[in-house]
Amino acid sequence: MVLDLGLPGMDGLSVLKRWRANGRRFPILVLTARGTWGERVEGIDAGADDYLAKPFRMEELLARLRAIVRRSAGQSCSMLAAGPVALDTRQMRVTVNGVPVALSPQEYRLLSYLMHHAGRVVSQLELTEHLYAQDFERDSDAIEVLVGRLRRKLGVELIETRRGFGYIIDVPAGGPA
């Protein structure tokens, strides 16, 4: 979640405190014009996982979001590994047994999502919501086609289909390469 503190109607800091008090544990980055050290400390203490003051560079925002996703998935570095497949979230590169594999942006995002959720079955609906716009046709076989292309490009058995449930990378993220 990217949260601006200057919301109409209710202050973003109050929203953040309410979410955390209600047990909401999803990662939150505060993005705001309020940038004094005291305000940053208050935001972090209220439950934000990171705090970025405006003006900012898009590259920094994206790097901070990648770091939050890594930390929330229990990863501390930018490299994810599952079997012979390694994914560098900083460089957006994928290798199989050390050999680079060229992926389309959608294929990369699909693999990255599955690797961040390794060991858990991810439904087609969840993948569709992550990869496509809200108005995307949910009954489409686009995810199946994308998984098929990704499997061919990787050339290794990594993504397992659980019929009726979804897809899983059944090797712990960061596991043996």
The distance from CA 83 to its chain's CA centroid, rounded to whole angstroms, is 20
Please check the confidence at residue 106 and state whether its pLDDT lies above 50: yes
How confident is the prediction for the chain on average, in pLDDT? 85
122 neighbors 115 (Cβ within 8 angstroms): no
CA dihedral 38, 44, 80, 173 (to 10 degrees): 160
The dotted CATH code for 2-72 is 3.40.50.2300
**What's the token pair of residue 85?**
């497949």
Please name the fold of domain 79-169.
Answer: Arc Repressor Mutant, subunit A (1.10.10)
Buried b (16+ CB within 10 A) or exposed e, 34-69: beeeebbebbeebbbbbbbeeeeeeeeeeebbbbbb
Instruction: Assign 174 a pLDDT band (cuts: 50, 70, 90).
Output: very low
Q: Where are the alpha helices (DSSP H) in 1-93?
A: 12-21, 37-45, 58-72
Supply the pLDDT for residue 176.
Answer: 42
Domain boundaries, the chain: 2-72, 79-169
Instruction: Assign 144 a pLDDT band (cuts: 50, 70, 90).
Output: very high
11 neighbors 32 (Cβ within 8 angstroms): no
Instruction: Assign 167 a pLDDT band (cuts: 50, 70, 90).
Output: very high
Supply the pLDDT for residue 137.
Answer: 63
Q: What are the tens digits of pLDDT across the range 50-101?
A: 999 888 888 888 888 888 887 776 655 668 889 899 998 878 899 999 999 9
CB-count exposure of residue 30 (10 Å: 0-12, 13-18, 19+): buried
Supply the pLDDT for residue 111.
Answer: 94
* Choice between 151 and 66, residue whose per-residue pLDDT is larger: 151
